[in-house]
Amino acid sequence: MYLYDKQEDVDYLYSRLDTRWNSDSVIKKNMHRCKIKKLLKFLKPGKTLLDVCRGGSVDGILGVMAAKKGLKVTICSVKQEYLDVIKRFANEHNIEVYDYVVCEPENLCFSDESFDYVSCIHVLEHVNDLQKCFSEIHRVTKGKALI
């Protein structure tokens, strides 16, 4: 198995995100963009959002686009490299995200009822303890969860 150094890993993961978000396939590109657009309709500017990610695919894009809409967004993921990928995406689109935090979906490092909204997309199939993940999302939200 070939191990990437950190920058190569970030570059590789970013290319995966970019080939989905900016896909040459009109269907694939529109599928991701329409999903994000529909979810954004539920989120109100001025509110707080925690976007719980795992890395890969298009994780974190909802959080970035919510920040563009005017929400105070925190994005969390299991590895710093995954956060570096979404930071790069945000920077390339001139969008400022409030905070990036490394933590596990089953052990969120935030106080109870910290966020108006919590999103958790393309994550559940990767967690070891689904019930614990649901419990943590419920614990940190004071409003709605998008799962």
pLDDT tens digits for 37-62? 999 999 999 999 999 987 666 689 99
This prediction has a pTM of 0.89
DSSP strand pairing (141-146 vs 115-120): parallel
- Tens digit of pLDDT for each residue in 86-131? 999 999 999 999 999 999 999 999 999 999 999 998 888 888 899 9
Give the percent of the chain with pLDDT over 70. 93
Task: Name 102's bridge partners.
Answer: 77
Query: Which of the four pLDDT bands, split at 50, 70 and 90, describes residue 2?
Result: very low
Rounded to whole angstroms, how far apart are CA atoms 81 and 50?
18
